[in-house]
Structure 1
Amino acid sequence: MPKVPAFDELFHHSQESAVHLEMRDGYMRSDPAFIDWAAGKELDPVERWSDWLATVKKATSRGVVVRRARIVSEPVSDYIRFEHSVTEGLNIDAGEDVRWLPRRQATSLALPGNDFWVFDRRMALINHFDGDGDSLEHEYTDDPQLVSFLSGAFESVWEKALPHAEYRLA
């Protein structure tokens, strides 16, 4: 297995695109931001996620198109409600384009078993999680067949998904 480059390094070296497919209904429920949101506290994306905002803004300022698609079960989980509530101030304000696809509409799509990022349609970072949604490890690949499959899976979701501004939580 090739050495896994640092995530910000992959973003730094991207020239055209970075796409991310999320397919879980919950991630890192021990995340302090999620816990604070669930307790009704106001979240300031600039304060909480300044590194992420800076990374994406640097990439998009160089012309890199950053897209994120989320496949979600409906009715949505509390974690998805949390993600939806911070998407505008976090992802979109950083320069990402975000879309949502209800899981029922994904049945006909050939999808991989794991979430992933694809950079410039040449490199992929596959995300492995435990059953509670905590990150276990990242797997890097530049295998052309696998990257092509992942890119195609992302595009098939993207075509069916609703832009963030149009998606209403069920």
Structure 2
Amino acid sequence: MPEPTKRSELLSAIDSLLESASPLPAPAERRRLREAHGFTQEQLAQALRVRRPTVSAWEAGKAEPRQPEREAYGRLLGRLAELHSAAPATPERHREDTTASVAQESSPDRTVTPTAYERMFTTLRHSAWRLESRSRYAWHERRPEYRAFADGRHVDWDVQSEWCRNRRAQTALGKRFERVRVIDDPYTECQLYLLLQNSPRNAVSGEDVRFLTRAEADELELPREDFWIFDARTVARLRFDDRDETDGIELITDPAEVLRYAQVREAAWHRAVSQERMADTLGV
């Protein structure tokens, strides 16, 4: 056997051996895990920097990924298996418009279950945008990070928490997560915490967080509501009780109503400034 041919075959054999040391789930399971989490083949292809037909071939068993894509693909599938190990088999084709499936879990007054609400942060296709207009949030004030901030102690964020990892996984697929937070004058302790401590955590997790003063929000005639807009098609409006506790999530899908919230988003996003600029404005 000629030396160059022998060398090539030996290297190919070593590559195959190395790849076999990191087995992947069966092709059908790869597809199930992807669909269980609401990802499309296009999104995976974009994240792994391959073509969509390549992902399709991996899921059909017609081809196997090679390094370095294999390692990244295996890591993703491993994480999805942890999240969806007990998930039932999914339909043959993932429903791209997830609004209808979430709406099925809403009550006559349009309140959606917390589980359905959380699922919207992975089944969205393009973007999620939030307006936060309250002066305080009871949920935040119960967090140990908030108590450390209030006591003047160092706040040590776990940026490897499930929430942070999930946000980074979604933004790696090209999805956008954006917020505008309104700051009163004088600002509350909770608002200062969100500005100085919570927002940097959100930023390192892939979110774009910006700020408006209350005077600017009132000038723009922004509603004093808290809501998320998903893919410019669905609004999840957060309700609060008189103790500043979350008191349900209302799902809004009527196009005319959604358009009103989209107009709020455009006005707020145009005027909002970065965390650093707002901190400088407030002198904190």
TM-score between the two structures when normalised by the length of structure 1: 0.88
Distance 1:18 1:139, change over 3 A: same
Q: Structure 1 residue 106 and structure 2 residue 217: aligned?
A: yes
Question: Post-superposition shift, 1:3?
Answer: 5.8
- Are the counterparts in 1 of residues 237 and 250 from structure 2 also a CA contact under 8 Å? yes
Once residues 125 and 81 of structure 1 are traced to their aligned partners in structure 2, the CA distance between those partners, rounded to angstroms, is 25
Residue 112 of structure 2: aligned partner: 4
Residue 196 of structure 2: aligned partner: 85
Question: Post-superposition shift, 1:73?
Answer: 0.7
Greater C-alpha radius of gyration = 2
Once residues 118 and 150 of structure 2 are traced to their aligned partners in structure 1, the CA distance between those partners, rounded to angstroms, is 29
Give CA-to-partner distance per residue, 1:14-52, whole Å, 9 cap, x none: 1111001000111113343322321223222216x8232
Give CA-to-partner distance per residue, 1:95-132, whole Å, 9 cap, x none: 11111101111223233342000110011111111233
Residue 67 of structure 2: aligned partner: none
Q: 2:132 aligns with which of 7, 11, 22?
A: 22
Residue 61 of structure 1: aligned partner: 172
Once residues 162 and 259 of structure 2 are traced to their aligned partners in structure 1, the CA distance between those partners, rounded to angstroms, is 29
- Are the counterparts in 1 of residues 111 and 248 from structure 2 also a CA contact under 8 Å? no
Q: 1:123 aligns with which of 198, 209, 234?
A: 234
Residue 145 of structure 2: aligned partner: 33
Q: Runs of 5+ in structure 2 lacking a partner?
A: 1-108
Once residues 240 and 143 of structure 2 are traced to their aligned partners in structure 1, the CA distance between those partners, rounded to angstroms, is 14
Q: Which structure has the highest helix share of the two?
A: 2
Give CA-to-partner distance per residue, 1:125-148, whole Å, 9 cap, x none: 111112332111111121111111
Once residues 166 and 87 of structure 1 are traced to their aligned partners in structure 2, the CA distance between those partners, rounded to angstroms, is 16
Q: Runs of 5+ in structure 1 lacking a partner?
A: none
Percent of residue pairs bearing the same amino acid type: 28
Q: Which structure has the highest strand share of the two?
A: 1
Stretches (4+) displaced over 6 A: none
Residue 158 of structure 2: aligned partner: 46
Moved more, 49-58 or 86-95: 49-58
- Are the counterparts in 2 of residues 23 and 70 from structure 1 also a CA contact under 8 Å? yes
